[in-house]
Amino acid sequence: MIDALVFDFDGVIIDTETPDYELWSEEFRAHGVELDRAMWSQIIGGSPDGFDVYGHLDTLTGGGVDVASIGRRRRQRYLEMVEASPLLPGVLDYLTQAEQLGLKVGVASSSNNDWVEGHLRRRDLLGYVDAVTTRDDVANVKPDPELFLTAVARLSSKPERAVAIEDSANGVTAAKRAGMFCVVVPNPMTRDLPIDHADLRLETLADMELAELLRRAAAALEGIHDS
Helical H runs in 142-209? 146-154, 169-178
Q: Are residues 156 and 214 in the same domain?
A: yes
**Domain range spanning residue 125?**
4-15+87-226
Q: Are residues 111 and 80 in the same domain?
A: no
Helical H runs in the chain? 17-30, 37-40, 53-61, 67-84, 91-101, 113-122, 146-154, 169-178, 210-226
Q: What is the pTM for the complete model shown?
A: 0.91
Q: Are residues 38 and 117 in the same domain?
A: no
- Report the pLDDT value the prediction gives residue 226, as an integer from 0 to 100: 52
Q: Are residues 194 and 149 in the same domain?
A: yes
Q: How far apart are CA 123 and CA 144, in angstroms?
A: 28
Q: Are residues 99 and 179 in the same domain?
A: yes
C-alpha pair distances (Å), 151 with each of 131, 138, 196: 7, 10, 24
pLDDT along the chain (227 residues), means of 10: 96 95 92 86 70 86 85 89 96 98 97 97 97 97 97 97 95 97 94 90 97 95 63
Which is catalytic among the residues 8, 15, 20, 199?
8
Instruction: Give me the sign of the Cα torsion angle 179, 185, 187, 189.
Output: positive
- Report the pLDDT value the prediction gives residue 227, as an integer from 0 to 100: 47
Q: Are residues 76 and 95 in the same domain?
A: no
User: In total, how many domains does the chain have?
Assistant: 2
Q: How far apart are CA 180 and CA 160, in angstroms?
A: 6
Q: Are residues 154 and 53 in the same domain?
A: no
- Report the pLDDT value the prediction gives residue 50, as an integer from 0 to 100: 65
Report CA 74 to chain centroid distance, whole Å.
21
Residue 192 maps to which CATH number? Answer: 3.40.50.1000
8 a catalytic residue? yes
Q: Are residues 59 and 153 in the same domain?
A: no
Q: How far apart are CA 62 and CA 130, in angstroms?
A: 48
Residue that finishes a domain, picked among 50, 69, 84: 84
Q: How far apart are CA 106 and CA 120, in angstroms?
A: 12
User: Are 207 and 183 a contacting pair, CB within 8 Å?
Assistant: no
First to last CA, the chain: 17
Q: Are residues 200 and 91 in the same domain?
A: yes
Q: Any idea of the CA torsion for 175, 134, 151, 50, to the nearest 10 degrees? A: 20
Which is catalytic among the residues 3, 10, 114, 167?
10
Peptide bond into 143 cis (omega under 30): yes
Which residues 6+ apart lie within 8 Å of 200 measured at CB? Answer: 181, 182, 183, 184, 213, 216, 217
